[in-house]
């Protein structure tokens, strides 16, 4: 079975893999979704804490914030 991922234009760290996490955007090569990060940030966790908790680059957290600010 071939998995087709969709890189999101303008984003280095975010992708969509159909059938993975309900087709929601995730951090490349992880199952960490944008929603997961936003939930942590909503309860006053700092971006550095989110990156450390999920073992992802801090840049991915900031890119997530940028992506949702454009919605």
Express each pLDDT in 13-36 by its tens digit.
999 988 889 989 999 989 999 999
- The string of DSSP codes covering 3-44 is ---EEPTT-SSEEE-TTSGGG--EETTS--BHHHHHHHHHTT
Express each pLDDT in 53-64 by its tens digit.
999 999 999 999
pTM (2 d.p.): 0.85
């Amino acid at each position: 079975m071939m998995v087709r991922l969709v890189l999101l234009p303008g984003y280095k760290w975010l992708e969509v893999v159909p059938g993975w996490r309900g087709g929601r955007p995730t951090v490349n090569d992880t199952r960490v979704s944008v929603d997961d990060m936003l939930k942590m940030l909503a309860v006053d966790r700092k971006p550095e804490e989110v990156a450390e908790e999920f073992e992802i680059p801090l840049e991915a957290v900031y890119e997530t914030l940028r992506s949702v600010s454009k919605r």
